[in-house]
Structure 1
Amino acid sequence: MILFNKKFVMKVSIISLLLFLVGCSNINKVSSNNSGSNTNKSSNNNTGSSTNQSSTNETVKKDTSNSNPKQNNEENNSQSKLLQDIKTLAAEGRVINCEYPVKLTNLYSVEEKWGKADSSNWVASAKGMYSTYSKHNVVFGSNKGERIFEVRSFDSRLSKISLSMVKRNFGTPQYDVKSNGEEIIGYVVTKEFKLLFVFPEPTKSVSDPLMRHYSVLYPSATANSMASDPGRQW
């Protein structure tokens, strides 16, 4: 009886030990698998996040780099179109924002539609009376007979056009003077009409200034044969 009990106890002990060892092995496997799975998930998530962020940053960079050149091209095209309009209308004696041409218009015609000028001043060096219509961004130069010989445009679009851009589109000016802090360049448009562009005089800090205004000039109407005055050329 005692021998039986000893054998029984020994068998139970061996079985318990085996079960314990098998259990530990399974626990280690599960732990190892969970650890590997978590590592892979973490690695995959980090890689995906990094890739997406990198992709987003590249897109932003591309959009930023492409937007400025496109905008610059549009502005250059717009300014070139405006200069072409200036040239085309000048051949008719007109400026871009005014229906009244030089030579064919007298000041009375303007006053009938636009009313009296905001101010009128005789400018001896320019050979005429200069009438300012601020609302229309226009100044008319007229002789003693009220004939308009010059129309100056102060259209706001002109302030985006540089000196170099005018020279690039019109070529070397036939007239180029610097006076009283301004540079004035001129071009012959037809036998009768000339163009004058007025800029601040270039400086070291501003080597390529923007336009202040421009005008279409009809020089013949500034002459005074009675006084042997040949009038203005520019």
Structure 2
Amino acid sequence: MNAQIKDMLELAKSGKVSGIPFAAKTGHSDEVAQAWGKAENKDAIGSDIYETFAKKNAVIGYNKGSQIIDVRSTDPKLHTITLSQIEQALGKPTDTKVNGDDTIYIYKASDVFQLKFIIPKSTGKVDHISVFDAKDAVNNMAG
């Protein structure tokens, strides 16, 4: 498990998540639409758009310019990972946030990317991971 978690951080350094061919920062919504077709679900969160591809165990987030800023994996293999396993592999998180029932453990993968592990209180195990492009998620259009 240790190696698997370290691999997640390695991939996150280039904006990627295992099993998803698109990268945050360098990817674009057109690429996703061409490769995967239409998303099953589309949500707006602030000025960002999130598309869910349940069959691919993926959620892809885009900024206003259709650039990929967030690559999330809901791969069932992640659902067995606990915080203690993550900390054993990567040490303590850079930051922790709470969103409702979920605790988000944030690791700095590079100057651009964060690797986030989202763990609901109800299970104590990873629900999904996110590779987030913190730089491009900022709305540069805002005065």
1:223 to 134, 138, 141: 138
Return the TM-score normalized by structure 1: 0.59
Question: Hey, what does 2:48 align to over in structure 1?
Answer: 128
Residues matched between the structures, number: 143
Cα distance in 2 for partners of 1:128, 1:179 equals 18
- Contact 1:183 / 1:200 at 8 angstroms: preserved in 2? yes
Return the TM-score normalized by structure 2: 0.94
- Contact 1:91 / 1:193 at 8 angstroms: preserved in 2? yes
Question: Hey, what does 1:26 align to over in structure 2?
Answer: none
Give 1 or 2: higher strand fraction.
2
Please report how far the alpha carbon of residue 158 of structure 1 lies from its aligned counterpart in structure 2 after TM superposition.
0.4
Aligned-residue Cα RMSD (Å) equals: 1.4
Question: Hey, what does 1:110 align to over in structure 2?
Answer: 32
- Contact 1:178 / 1:201 at 8 angstroms: preserved in 2? no
Give 1 or 2: higher helix fraction.
1
Cα distance in 2 for partners of 1:120, 1:149 equals 15
Cα distance in 1 for partners of 2:20, 2:36 equals 11
Show structure 1 runs of 5+ residues with no match: 1-78, 229-234
SS, match of residue 227 in structure 1? coil
Provide the identity percentage: 30
- Contact 2:114 / 2:133 at 8 angstroms: preserved in 1? yes
Question: Hey, what does 1:73 align to over in structure 2?
Answer: none
Please report how far the alpha carbon of residue 195 of structure 1 lies from its aligned counterpart in structure 2 after TM superposition.
0.7
Question: Hey, what does 1:72 align to over in structure 2?
Answer: none
1:92 to 14, 31, 43: 14
Show structure 2 runs of 5+ residues with no match: none
Please report how far the alpha carbon of residue 199 of structure 1 lies from its aligned counterpart in structure 2 after TM superposition.
0.3
